């Protein structure tokens, strides 16, 4: 009888060990004893990562979309069974009230350094946090952004939720699709110089060395003119844009000011009239969900490649 009890204990311990997994989240190691059952994601791109992995039944809701962005038809269909718990960044009360046990967010994607919602402030309530890889630059050093940032998040979510095979297959498919897209590039000569215009008229908000568009632009045969800007998403001045003289402007479309309005602002501003991209009317639009890390990044690369090198 004693031997049987010991055997059962060994089986239980083995099962616990098998269920437990640890992932690297920015500068932290986060351990999960079992897959989360009541997850919340912030922002449209992070929510799509959850959905593309088939994790809707592990979610109790999402936050931070309708306060800034409009869901397209594809996304509306995917989240129609889930409540939006907060139009913008959630409070602790929102997450606790939803009985959440997991929060997928990033720095400036649902969390702010020193803010109310951080991994440390949620820990006492049993809510574990996984941080978007691209956003880790806000709390410490990291390599320059690459497509691997997005792949890393999908693979880590796969480990956290016990769907590793699904995550690996998805990432392998994305890599193969991207390789095919690169192989068919009709790039000629030097990489095109590209400026990312997110928002702002007095000063532009743009993508630096650590923001996802830098990786997308490079994959499409261009180079971000602010590749030397040691920031993720940040504000610069128009004088710098004029000095960099981009060949193409990528406009990020979201919010109250439309992509067409941003384009017209640049075209009508006399101070910007000498920029090659403005003179030649070379603008391309990426939707917010394409320009930030997520499942639509490969589509974004193809769109950029066509705009850069198509007829």
Query: Is 57 within a domain?
Result: yes
Query: What pLDDT score does 80 carry?
Result: 82
Query: Is 3 within a domain?
Result: no
Task: Calculate the CA dihedral of residues 73, 78, 80, 81 and round it to 10 degrees.
Answer: 170
Beta partners for 302? none
Identify the domain containing residue 59 by its residue range.
Answer: 14-175
Domain boundary among the residues 149, 175, 201 is at 175
Domain boundary among the residues 122, 146, 175 is at 175
Beta partners for 252? 286
Q: Does 123 share its domain with 216?
A: no
Cα–Cα nearest to 111, from 23, 41, 51, 44 = 41
Q: Does 160 share its domain with 260?
A: no
Q: Does 166 share its domain with 229?
A: no
Query: Is 66 within a domain?
Result: yes
CB atoms within 10 A of CB 289: 25
User: 151: helix, coil or strand?
Assistant: helix
Q: Does 129 share its domain with 19?
A: yes
Q: Does 22 share its domain with 170?
A: yes
Q: Does 162 share its domain with 202?
A: no
CATH classification at residue 54:
3.40.50.1980
Query: Is 7 within a domain?
Result: no
Domain boundary among the residues 150, 175, 200 is at 175
Q: Does 169 share its domain with 20?
A: yes
Query: What pLDDT score does 70 carry?
Result: 75
Indicate the number of domains in the chain: 2
Query: What pLDDT score does 311 carry?
Result: 67
Q: Does 63 share its domain with 113?
A: yes
Q: Does 142 share its domain with 212?
A: no
CA distance 165 to 150: 17
Query: Is 302 within a domain?
Result: yes
Query: Is 4 within a domain?
Result: no
Q: Does 123 share its domain with 246?
A: no
Query: Is 69 within a domain?
Result: yes
Cα–Cα nearest to 55, from 45, 41, 68 = 41
For every one of its 311 residues, what pLDDT tens digit does the chain have, with 9 covering 90 and above?
444 444 544 444 444 445 799 999 999 999 999 999 999 999 999 999 999 999 999 999 999 999 888 777 877 877 888 999 999 999 999 999 999 999 999 999 999 999 999 999 999 999 999 999 999 999 999 999 999 999 999 999 999 999 999 999 999 999 999 999 999 888 777 899 999 999 999 999 999 999 999 999 999 999 999 999 999 999 999 999 999 999 999 999 998 999 999 999 999 999 999 999 999 999 999 999 999 999 999 999 999 999 999 86
Cα–Cα nearest to 36, from 55, 54, 51 = 55
Task: Report CA-CA distances (Å) from 34 to 130, 251, 275.
Answer: 14, 41, 54
Query: What pLDDT score does 71 carry?
Result: 77
Residue 203, C-beta contacts closer than 8 angstroms, at least 6 positions apart: 235, 236, 237, 238
Q: How much is the pTM? A: 0.91
Query: Is 8 within a domain?
Result: no
Task: Calculate the CA dihedral of residues 75, 26, 156, 182 and round it to 10 degrees.
Answer: 70
CA distance 241 to 225: 8
Q: Does 197 share its domain with 96?
A: no
Q: Does 196 share its domain with 74?
A: no
């Amino acid at each position: 009888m004693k031997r049987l009890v010991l055997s059962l204990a060994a089986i239980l311990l083995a099962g616990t060990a098998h269920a437990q997994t640890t992932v690297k989240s920015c500068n932290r190691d986060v351990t999960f004893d079992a897959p989360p059952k009541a997850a919340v994601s912030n922002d449209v791109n992070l929510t799509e990562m959850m959905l593309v992995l088939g994790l809707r039944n592990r979610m109790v809701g999402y936050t931070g979309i309708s306060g800034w962005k409009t869901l397209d038809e594809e996304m509306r269909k995917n989240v129609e069974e889930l409540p939006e718990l907060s139009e913008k960044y959630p409070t602790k009360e929102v997450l606790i009230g939803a009985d959440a046990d997991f929060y997928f967010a990033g720095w400036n994607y649902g969390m702010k350094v020193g803010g109310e919602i951080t991994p440390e402030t949620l820990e006492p309530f049993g809510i574990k946090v996984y941080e978007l890889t691209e956003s880790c630059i806000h709390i410490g050093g990291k390599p320059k952004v690459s497509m691997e940032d997005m792949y890393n998040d999908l693979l880590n979510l796969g480990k956290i939720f016990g769907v590793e095979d699904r995550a690996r297959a998805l990432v392998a498919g994305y890599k193969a699709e991207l390789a095919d897209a690169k192989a068919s590039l009709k790039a000629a000569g030097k990489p095109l110089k590209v400026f990312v215009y997110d928002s702002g008229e007095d000063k532009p908000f743009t993508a630096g060395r650590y923001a996802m568009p830098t990786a997308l632009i490079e994959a499409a045969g261009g180079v971000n003119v602010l590749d030397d800007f040691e920031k993720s998403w940040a504000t610069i001045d128009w004088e710098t844009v004029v000095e960099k003289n981009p060949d193409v402007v990528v406009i990020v479309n979201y919010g109250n000011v439309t992509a067409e309005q941003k384009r017209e602002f640049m075209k009508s501003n006399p101070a910007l009239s000498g920029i090659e991209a403005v003179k030649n009317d070379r603008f391309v639009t990426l939707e917010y969900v394409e320009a930030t890390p997520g499942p639509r990044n490969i589509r974004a690369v193809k769109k950029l490649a066509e705009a850069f090198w198509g007829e």
